[in-house]
Amino acid sequence: SAQAWILFIIILAFTLLIFRSSARWVYYAGESD
């Protein structure tokens, strides 16, 4: 259904956002160390 696809897209986008944010934090932490 359309609702299922919307939910899937939202979760996917949120996951990618967290992944990119985590990567940045790891990058800064590694450089700061």
Nearest to 27 by CA among 10, 19, 16: 19
Structural domain of residue 7, as residue ranges? Answer: 1-33
Q: Which amino acid is at 21?
A: S
pLDDT of residue 21: 81
State how far Cα 31 lies from the chain centre.
21
Q: What's the confidence (pLDDT) of residue 7?
A: 98
What is the per-residue pLDDT across 2-29, written as a single tens digit (0 to 9) for each? 999 999 999 999 999 988 887 777 666 6
Residue with the larger pLDDT of the pair 12 and 33: 12
Residue 20 neighbours by CB distance under 10 Å = 10
Q: Which residue has the tokens 């919307």?
A: 6
pTM to 2 decimal places: 0.58
Spatial separation of the C-alpha atoms in residues 10 and 2, rounded to whole Å: 12
| Number of domains forming the structure of the chain | 1
How far apart are the C-alpha atoms of 3 and 26, rounded to whole Å? 34
